[in-house]
Structure 1
Amino acid sequence: MRYASITDRLANLGSDKWEIHLRGRELAAHDASVIELTIGEPDVPPDDALLDICAEAMRAGRTRYSNGRGEDSVVSALARKYSRRTGREIREENVLCFPGTQTALFAVMMGLLEAGDEVLVPDPYYATYEAVIRAPGAGILPVPLRAEKGFHLQPEDLEAAITPGSRVLLLNSPHNPSGAVLSRDEIAAIGEICRKHDLWIVSDEVYEELTFDADFASPFDLPELADRVIAVSSISKSHAAPGFRSGWAVGPAEFCQRLLPLSESMLFGGQPFIADMTAYALTHDLPTAGGMRRQYKARAAMIAERLDNVSGLRVVPPEAGMFVLLDVSGTGLTGHDFALRLLEERRVSVMPGSSFGNAGGKLVRLSLTVPDEKLAEACGRIASFAGDLVQRAECLAT
């Protein structure tokens, strides 16, 4: 039988990247000692107020069809949020709602790219980026992020990577997997290069509210870039509500109008009861994000204290988010082999850096979304494993 070429373009770009995570889940089903440090799923529940709003809306009959742009309540709330943030008027025609950031990214890329176009992506990058770029037939142009620069995208590296086929920069700050946060000045310099080369900027801002000490900055907030930036985000991380799948894209009105028929063809609206919950989340000061910020910052510090002086390991301190990168090159293993053997031999499941692009080959990513005592136990197992690897290597060398 014949299949559409998109199935070939996306082959091995789905669950294959989560191979070790899925293997860990299999082991955990029969072995309670497995500690999972793979995915970015908050370990706190959504605020009770959000659950109450959602349940009340369902009981009130908010279970009927919506519309392609999004429920008025959440569209208006988003327009107000971004008007406050940018200091300029953001209207309802600048907003499109989607079930999560992932769907927003997919739709946005389908609306911007043709077969043969190229997207610049700082590398390492989130595991699904390559798939949303390949889906319309575009290619990915990795821009290496340098550890010695704190995984902050350097303007000169971006400009060196641009080709005549470049159409979009997919920017992610706060960054997954490194936790790097670009400053306003850094973003302005990057934006100037995008203006010079007439590039769109798609800005994934899902970790906006989980910065530790650095200030969040967005290209969408700079007036000189407003006509070329689409910001995507959701309540998945900020409000500990990943399963509700509530996200959005905010950008130029013309772009949103052109993308609306695509959105309607895919979804024709989300769930009104989830929109009501999202509108409440966007218009009320809830403690969820602040609590996670403090907790994840403390856990990142604990990992650094316990692992940074371990032979063969180097911790990359994050500035935001819910992950820590660990450079394991000193153990003599690649990130993938380290992660696989760590799971099989010490029952700790981490993500190999290779799931996040070519630049992640010597890295593994640890999630901060487990209780402190489990994280401490995982650090002990990782330290012991790395120590054994280095000791064996030294014995073989003598």
Structure 2
Amino acid sequence: MKNKFISKRYWKNNSTPMGQVDELAKNFDDVINLSLGDPDLITHNIIIDNAFKDARQGHTKYTDFRGDPELRCEIAKFYKEEYALDVHDKEIFVTTSGCLAMYLVLEAILDDGDEVILQAPYFTPYYQQVELARGIPVELSTYEEDDFQISFDKLEKLINERTKAIIINSPCNPTGNILSRQTLESIRDIAVKYDLIVISDDIYTSFSFNEPFIPIASIEGMKERTIIINSFSKNFTMTGWRIGNIIAPGYIINVIQQINENLVFTSPSISQRGAIHALRNRKEIQPEIIKEYKDRVFYAADRINRIPNMSVISPKGTFYLFVNIKKTGLSSIEASDAILKEAHVLTIPGIAFGDCGEGYLRLACTVGVEKLKEAFDRIEKMDIFKIKGEHHEQ
């Protein structure tokens, strides 16, 4: 929108298919929402009850600028116990969400015109977050036929004298893919060779279904050149609490603190107390959550692979499925629109996650199996999913 009182940076319409589809959904009163990754489960009572008990005991003020010392201690203990990774207190910063964490990191490390390579398909905000920090986003496409693994050769060809960082996300939103140890070691080799820093978005670490999660910071030679972004939103169903953290070398944390003091000062004290109790009680809280979402994604994947002109690879992590709809002959926006209008099921077009996402839809299994069954019962009645079509290249 052009207006003299709006910065020219925002004159261009940057709305995404994600936002556009959400608006269309308001036209129907029986929509099954498989779009946004906001779980239907509420935060565990252990977290809620203890956080508000702490609030009544006075934890309602600003915390330390880097976060509640008790929370920083629990984060360090978590990485030691789960991944044998030594994290020092000076390397930890508590943030008001994982999204803000990514912006703070990019603002701290980028000079104007620096390039950031994005593992694509990517979490939609990455692209504009890089631009907000005056950087240039560069897509590194990954493909289903390669198990959505990052190619060493393709990555190396994107690097030039302006490349500053690589953003990876594993388990990945939207594909549900997990980067193998071999891939992580290849990324390490590239990062060392070209003196780059890796920003690892570790939002879905608890949802690694087939094998234990491997932090790239635990790969030899990577701790000093890795920035970890984490969040309590998905691992603990705490989306509304808006609490996350950054782990990075101390000199980067110092800059992040300076920036954050001019944005939100400190993260919400009550949310930080909730995060403390989440980590301390994770062995009791998480197994049921993980099992629920694993059951959902495997049920949904089985239903998808029974529907003509739809397919999806076997789930590996997260609660998302990246569904191949190329055989319909429709673009991802057209297919998502048709499913909404005919089946009243809300999905996200794959193009929202980068150019290589075209020909796919992202489904978030954030409703129970019964609702998923109803959604797929509706979808399989649609004409575009009844007859086998010819393969359509996007």
**Category of TM-score, reference length = shorter chain:** over 0.9
1:9-55: CA deviation from partner (whole Å, max 9, x where unpaired): xx54456642112321x134xx1x21110011122111111000121
- The reply to whether residue 224 of structure 1 matches residue 221 of structure 2 is yes
TM-score, with length taken from structure 2? 0.93
Structure 2 counterpart SS, 1:293: helix
After superposition, residues 40-55 of structure 1 pair within 5 angstroms as 40-55=37-52
Aligned counterparts, 1:122-141, within 5 A: 122-141=119-138
CA 1:334/1:386 → structure 2, altered by over 3 Å: closer, same or farther? farther
Match in the other structure for 2:265:
268
Match of 1:343 in 2: 340
Secondary structure of 2:381 counterpart:
helix
Question: Is the aligned partner of 1:385 residue 2:382?
Answer: yes
Deviates more, 1:13-22 or 1:46-55: 13-22
1:7 correspondence with 2:31: no
Which one of the candidate residues 272, 281, 291 is aligned to 2:278? 281
Distance (whole Å) between structure 2 residues aligned to residue 298 and residue 85 of structure 1? 24
Distance 1:12 1:316 in 2: 34
Partner of residue 180, structure 1: 177
Matches within 5 A, 1:45-194: 45-194=42-191
Q: Which residue is 1:210 aligned to?
A: 207
CA distance in 1: counterparts of 2:62 and 2:169, whole angstroms: 33
Q: CA deviation at 1:82?
A: 2.3
Secondary structure of residue in 1 paired with 2:361: strand
Deviations 1:184-230 (A, max 9, x none): 23211211111111111000000000111122111112241111100
Distance in 1 of aligned mates of 2:17 and 2:358: 16
Aligned amino acid, residue 147 of structure 1: E
Q: CA deviation at 1:268?
A: 1.0
When structure 1 is superposed on structure 2, of 117-126 and 219-228 the one drifting more is: 219-228
Instruction: Give the share of equivalent positions with the same residue, in percent.
Output: 24
**Counterpart amino acid of residue 186 in structure 2:** A
Residues in 1 aligned to 2:347 and 2:58: alpha-carbon distance in whole angstroms: 42
Residues of 1 paired with 2:20 and 2:121: CA distance?
Answer: 18
Are 1:299 and 2:299 counterparts? no
Match of 1:27 in 2: 27
From 232, 242, 246, give the equivalent of 1:245.
Answer: 242
Cα distance, 1:15–1:71 mapped onto 2, change above 3 Å: farther
RMSD of the TM alignment (CA)? Answer: 1.9
Q: What is the CA–CA distance in structure 1 between the aligned matches of 2:52 and 2:222, rounded to whole Å?
A: 40
Which one is further off, 186-195 or 79-88? 79-88
Query: Which SS does the other structure have where 2:230 is aligned?
Result: strand
Correspondence 1:37 to 2:34: yes
Distance 1:287 1:333 in 2: 45
TM-score, L = length of structure 1: 0.92
What's the CA shift string for 1:36-90, capped at 9, x where partnerless? 1001112211111100012112222211122321111111111222233453532
Distance 1:113 1:323 in 2: 31
What CA distance in whole angstroms lies between the structure 1 residues aligned with 2:328 and 2:17? 25
Give the structure with the larger helix fraction: 1
Secondary structure in 1 aligned to 2:316?
Answer: coil
Confirm or deny: 8 A CA contact 1:75 1:95 kept in the other structure. yes
2:349 is the counterpart of 1:352: yes
Map Cα deviations across residues 104-133 of structure 1 (whole Å, 9 max, x no partner).
001001111122111111111111111111
- The equivalent of 2:230 in structure 1 is 233
